[in-house]
Structure 1
């Protein structure tokens, strides 16, 4: 292979695809009667030798490692400082994938003859000498194997790997007291002695083979070694696993090493302080670097084992324990019900639901359910912590995810929490930047969720929510206006605005430093009629507002006029159809009732005639209604009506 190609990291993915191709190709050829017709022995041996350099077990591993280091450094030098960590992680993952693909393909290539004699009597073969030597040694040891030392036989039977899980647990219980009193020792070169090395190597193997099924037992072994009377054991363990990772340069070893470090540090912090770790793993659940995703999920699994499952014997039923284990297994499987992608509900699409991934709701609900039993109040503390991060985190995606998590586990609201959100919103609302708008939308959606979940009596304790809604209706951004309009609609559902006491309480809660003239609530929604996206919701809110009495909070006596003008296009369109739709009839009846209650009988008759389908054409209806409006509101509002129509329907 060309030397420059071997030194180019850009071909790493191509090498992996080549391995997959060779594996599938030879497995297909191997099913034919004459394999050498399609792939000669020389071709197969050449491919095997080529992939031997990629599998991580080549005889020339030292030179290959130097070449990989050179490629890695060359690739990293081309990146900016901020991207080097991401590139390094991606390269490690690609290297691991290539190694797996190469080993799998090499195993497939071994499925044919390992030697062949050519027509020229030349003997071609794979290098099988190591296997021959091993076979010869095994043969020499056959007698010794049969002639066992009876004194050593009981000790040789103390094994764990081949036992059933229950028997493995019993084995751990037997060796645990012994592990607690062991002192690991160093040799003159600074490494562990042979005795200590064997012990650590065996514990590491147990961790690899049994940590998923015997999580608590494996954790107890490492903790016993670290918390015994010999304090130096911890440093020696850390040096051992770090040396092992550097020597092997194997990503899987790094994963297990991190797991051991977590085991050793478990007793360092009380369980109540682990809440931050729960918050961290959930906001990093969809991180764009796969390695970070995997570690976040493994950390949650570890926390579930350490803080929840470890207490199942005393506080949980067998059914509850099974539910937790099923939940952990769903995380390991990356079940769609508990995982979400980086782009899911990230605020960059105009969806009109609660803007939270369904899997996030499922995950947070399950986590709260399981942790709440052992640690009451975790939901409220987690919610406050998520909101703190949402309003202070400089990374916008993480801040947005924190808002979403807060909405999922929301239980209560206090004045400092609301003040933090409003402070951030005041700096981001009506901004031209799309990313800033995304952040503002998360805050607005969170405020809307608060309005939906709080009891009416609690809502009245936070008049800031109402006045924030009024202020946000003045935004220049369509999506923000639509969300603020939704907030207003929810407020009108939750609070009885027809009650003078409610309106008075809200009016008294107006911020003392409110800037500009406040012309009433209804006037703030008119501009929604300009937008095809907002018009339906605007008319719905408008038709609810017009039924409320005139006052400083709602608006003046011109509200009926502008409500009718806002509904004009819908009325005329309904008359052009074969039958007037029920929605238009209902709106006309509402406006007619308001007009009648206000003493505007001519307007009431015109609208009632429309609702009863008495007009033969839209022209007749238009003439009758305009005449009634002119008689009632003009000339006082003639100019205002003209500008309103030009502004909203022009």
Structure 2
């Protein structure tokens, strides 16, 4: 049917406008969902007002995040994805509210919503050029801020908003540390892991630190976030060489490694760049070889100053991430510990998480990490701040020459430390988010509050899409949880 009206441009636009109106203002959730589907099938031309109006619908839906409403949020996000696909790439920069709306929605704790937000964000950044300083300037100028002043609105905006009844967003915005940390958190869920890998792959660019993350640590955390995935591609390539999907994944990994190499050269990290170029060319075949090359370079550049940041991420990923990644993460931890002293305050947390895998099929890898942890905490080596050449596991040709110390040896050497670590760990509760810890609010409620607050501030800064707030998705306030 859609193909039949392909040449009826006016009809497509008329039906599209009506479908979108029903999608935003219909009192029936079922009919509103159908209207979204009709709009996506028609694919009419996109307007700024329509995009921002859908963001306002998202904000209203977040006031009652029960399952039926969360399902409707998914429909809105799917419609926004189609809108972005229909935009001319050079015009996406004219819709900065979409970019910041995605950033706001990344604060959500609803994982399936989070995945669709990352899908939308991927489409947006694919159509933006971050090599152009103009893109960064436009996005920074529209970044939501706490110091927004409604008195700065022009007379036109005030006249447009006379019937506008969206409650003003109040409160202090969560500290914005860049897009990267919001994407890295998705690696901790088996549901969102692949979506986060996709976005990280797309933002592997040396520019726009003011938007993507801290200039001092962004490259470190980007490598830390993607390295387990890069390692896994080497493992899969050995097991199933002829599987086409895995070959495509490996080719994608090579492309990402090439982009990391470009970033490293931009930061004058030529040795690190050489390693990733070798990966991109297929010259590195084994996980152990890759880690033997990368680990000392990472440690020399960023450790121990930023070791807590990297180790913290890897331990969370080991604990919460996909099971397939556990082995390569253990290998990473071992390789890093061999080249940096471990802070005594971090040791109990690492010991607690890694020791849980000692009785699993990853027993030897876990014991190897604990051995490296003991040696890293040793007073003889801990103060050197350098690598441990006597513990090197690799010869010049990259082969593994070290024989794993028997478990009895580990127990004999780690007895006193084991109990000290357990005592220290049990006395410290698992840290919650700062806001949750201070206010006693459950983390999910804090995430929802931050999402609504930041999205509301994005919309406060925008005069587009203003209409009677009560008319938007009216069923949200009356629908019951089923």
Q: What's the TM-score, normalizing by structure 1?
A: 0.40
Asked if 1:527 is matched to 2:185, the reply is yes
CA distance in 2, matches of 1:389, 1:497: 36
Relative to structure 1, the CA distance from residue 382 to residue 598 in structure 2 (aligned partners, 3 Å threshold; closer, same or farther) is same
In the TM superposition, 1:543-558 aligns within 5 A as 543-557=201-215, 558=217
1:340 corresponds to: none
Judged with a 3 Å threshold, the aligned counterparts in structure 2 of structure 1 residues 500 and 616 are, in CA distance, closer, same or farther, namely closer
How far does residue 431 in structure 1 lie from its aligned partner after superposition? Answer: 6.2
Greater RCO (CA < 8 Å, at least 6 residues apart): 2
Please, which of 304, 311, 318 is the counterpart of residue 649 of structure 1? 318
Query: Which residue in 2 is equivalent to 1:492?
Result: 125
- Corresponding residue for 2:87? 454
For residue 615 of structure 1, report the CA deviation from its aligned partner.
5.7
Q: After superposition, what is the alpha-carbon deviation per residue over 1:40-69, rounded to whole angstroms, capped at 9, x for unaligned?
A: xxxxxxxxxxxxxxxxxxxxxxxxxxxxxx
- Partner of residue 411, structure 1: 44
CA–CA distance in structure 2, aligned partners of residues 385 and 582 of structure 1? 44
3-state DSSP of counterpart to 1:460: helix
CA distances 1:530-572 after superposition (whole Å, capped 9, x unpaired): 2333323322321221224143122222222122112222333
CA contact (8 A) 1:575 1:617 kept: yes
Tell me how far apart the structure 1 counterparts of residues 306 and 295 of structure 2 sit (CA, whole Å).
13
Distance 1:487 1:385 in 2: 23
From 104, 109, 112, the equivalent of 1:471 is: 104
In structure 2, the partner of 1:590 is 259
Q: Deviations over 1:547-598 (max 9, x none)?
A: 2414312222222212211222233334445379433333323222221221
CA contact (8 A) 1:467 1:510 kept: yes
- After TM superposition, the structure 1 = structure 2 runs for residues 366-445 of structure 1, keeping only pairs within 5 Å, are 366=4, 368=5, 372=8, 377-429=10-62, 432-445=65-78
Distance in 2 between residues matched to 1:525 and 1:519, nearest whole Å: 11
CA contact (8 A) 2:90 2:127 kept: no
Shift of 1:395: 1.2
Q: Which residue pairs with 1:631 in the alignment?
A: 300
Provide the secondary structure at the position in 2 that maps to 1:377. helix
Which residue pairs with 1:253 in the alignment? none
1:609 to 1:413, Cα distance in 2 relative to 1, 3 A:
closer
Structure-2 separation of matches of 1:642 and 1:537: 22
* CA 392–635 in structure 1, closer or farther in 2 if over 3 Å, else same: same
Counterpart in 1 of 2:225? 566
Tell me the alpha carbon deviations over residues 257-290 of structure 1, each in whole angstroms, 9 at most, x when there is no partner: xxxxxxxxxxxxxxxxxxxxxxxxxxxxxxxxxx
How far apart in 2 are the matches of 1:595 and 1:610? Answer: 14
Cα shift at 1:463: 1.4
| Aligned with residue 517 of structure 1, among 175, 178, 189 | 175
Once the two structures are TM-superposed, the CA of residue 426 in structure 1 deviates from its matched residue by 0.7
Look up the SS of the partner of 1:563 in the other structure: helix
Q: TM-score, normalised by structure 2?
A: 0.53
Aligned partners of 1:548 and 1:554 also within 8 Å: no
CA distance in 1, matches of 2:18, 2:35: 9
2:89–2:127 Cα contact (<8 Å) kept: yes
Separation in 1, partners of 2:45, 2:178: 30
Are 2:266 and 1:619 equivalent residues in the alignment? no
| Conserved 8 A contact 1:384-1:417 | no
Contact in 2 for aligned 1:430/1:476 (Cα 8 Å): no
Measured at CA, do residues 459 and 635 of structure 1 come closer, stay the same or move farther in structure 2, by a change above 3 Å? Answer: same
CA deviation string 1:171-204 (max 9, x = no partner): xxxxxxxxxxxxxxxxxxxxxxxxxxxxxxxxxx
Query: How is 1:355-366 mapped onto 2 (pairs within 5 angstroms)?
Result: 362=1, 364-366=2-4
Match of 2:273 in 1: 604
Instruction: Indicate how the Cα distance of structure 1 residues 369 and 588 shifts in structure 2: closer, same or farther if over 3 A, else same.
Output: closer
Kept in 2, the 8 Å contact 1:383–1:411? The answer is yes
Give structure 2 stretches of 5+ with no counterpart: 149-172, 242-246, 320-482
CA distance in 2, matches of 1:454, 1:613: 37
2:181 and 2:113 map into 1 onto residues whose CA distance is: 17
Q: Give the corresponding residue for 1:354.
A: none
Distance 1:467 1:613, change over 3 A: closer
In the alignment, structure 1 segments of 5+ residues that lack a partner are 1-361
Q: Secondary structure at the match of 1:474?
A: coil
Deviation at 1:445, TM superposition (A): 0.8
Whether the aligned pair in 1 keeps the contact of 2:52 and 2:97 (CA below 8 Å) is: no
Q: Which has the larger radius of gyration?
A: 1
Alignment map for 1:61-72 (pairs within 5 Å): none
RMSD: 2.7
Deviation at 1:430, TM superposition (A): 9.2
**SS at the partner of 1:646?**
helix
Q: How many matched pairs?
A: 283
Note the C-alpha offset of 1:378.
Answer: 3.5
1:605/1:454 CA distance change after superposition, 3 Å: closer
Conserved 8 A contact 2:200-2:226: no
Q: Is 1:480 paired with 2:149?
A: no
